[in-house]
Amino acid sequence: MTARARAAALLAGAAALTGCGGATEAPPEAAPVAARTVEVTMPLLRFAPRTLTIRAGDTASWRNTSAVTHNVKGRIFFSRVIEPRQSYRRRFDEPGRYPYRCTFHPGMDGVIVVRRDA
Ligand SMILES: [Cu+2]
């Protein structure tokens, strides 16, 4: 097998893994939609974007791009401490509105909006 063929086989395997959406089986008539990981950064004392809209099944990844410690606390999730250059990820399977904040910095807040089809 050539290096190019090996790379193509690896990519196909990765696509199959990320495309299955975990344990939930899609109905046969539904077109498969690959789940995504979408990033929120933390420049200084805010979340960017402040409102992030994703699809059900996607993962939000908060990456601390500042020089100080932050966290991400919502009603059903809590990152604990996120040091500079570290990330916290959470997958959202249920459509809805998920406000969150950093408990260290008053006013540092955001919301994840999860849609069935975003
Ligand atoms: Cu903070």
**pLDDT one-digit tens code per residue, 60-109:** 999 999 999 999 999 999 999 999 999 999 999 999 999 999 999 999 99
- Calculate how far, in angstroms, residue 28's C-alpha sits from the geometric centre of ligand 1: 43
Q: Provide long-range contacts, Cβ within 8 A and 24+ apart, for 15-21.
A: 21/57
pTM confidence score: 0.72
- Calculate how far, in angstroms, residue 19's C-alpha sits from the geometric centre of ligand 1: 33
- Calculate how far, in angstroms, residue 89's C-alpha sits from the geometric centre of ligand 1: 16
Instruction: Give the 3-state secondary structure of residue 78.
Output: strand
- Calculate how far, in angstroms, residue 4's C-alpha sits from the geometric centre of ligand 1: 44
7 exposed, middle or buried (CB, 10 Å; 0-12, 13-18, 19+)? Answer: exposed
Give the per-residue pLDDT at 17: 46
Residue 39's nearest CA partner among 54, 20, 29, 28 is: 54
